[in-house]
Chain A
Amino acid sequence: RKEVEQDPGPFNVPEGATVAFNCTYSNSASQSFFWYRQDCRKEPKLLMSVYSSGNEDGRFTAQLNRASQYISLLIRDSKLSDSATYLCVVNDYKLSFGAGTTVTVRA
């Protein structure tokens, strides 16, 4: 079983739409979680941490369900610039990455 499993998408949405996707992780002892963003042929960059109570950063909302070992990311009011691959990451001091969810926002 993979350490982190993600819906690969792709999600193709119009500007202004809301898009949500999730991942599951296998290690029930994991404590630290992130969403990274990766643009085509670029390095991953931290988008936001994921906290147990859920957290928002502007148009982005992350949720964590420890009981189900499930993490989600919701993007509201999608912009063209949100087009990217979103990586679900579990931090057990070394990072374990999901394969990524591709989001394309169209005009």
Chain B
Amino acid sequence: EAGVTQFPSHSVIEKGQTVTLRCDPISGHDNLYWYRRVMGKEIKFLLHFVKESKQDESGMPNNRFLAERTGGTYSTLKVQPAELEDSGVYFCASSPQGGEQFFGPGTRLTVL
């Protein structure tokens, strides 16, 4: 069975540009989470989808971040415009109801 996949694996952009990260959860997992690890800090929760609905977006840093999960399948996280402090590793995780969260390999974002 395929695990959580994320695309791209790396992205290098300039400050002010837009980047869209994609996450494909494990098939059948209704729960999808985004997390972020910035340099030297712990992994932090960003938001949680249940199917296509945002259950909790309390961890989103500001309105430059927009997450969507149309149709309750894959999810995108767009950063517009990107700032230097947005650099880090963005992880996506999925889980069945009440189950273990499985993490994707992450997208390493560098904003120059």
Binding site for B on A (CB under 8 A): 2, 4, 42-46, 87, 93-100
Contacts and interface: CB of A to CB of B under 8 A. Distances in A.
Interface stretch (B35-43, B63-71, B73-81): B35-43
A39 B67 CA distance: 27
Nearest first, the 4 A-B pairs at minimum CB distance are: A43-B103, A97-B43, A99-B42, A94-B45
26 contacts: A4-B42, A42-B105, A43-B91, A43-B103, A43-B104, A43-B106, A44-B43, A44-B91, A44-B103, A45-B103, A46-B100, A46-B101, A87-B42, A87-B43, A94-B45, A94-B48, A95-B33, A95-B45, A95-B93, A95-B101, A97-B35, A97-B42, A97-B44, A98-B42, A99-B41, A100-B42
Question: What is the interface of chain A mostly: helix, strand, loop, or mixed?
Answer: strand
A95 B93 CA distance: 10
A99 B40 CA distance: 8
Interface residues of B, number: 18
A96 B59 CA distance: 11
B36 to A, nearest CB: 11
A38 to B, nearest CB: 9
Contacts of A96: 45
B49 to A, nearest CB: 12
A106 B59 CA distance: 38
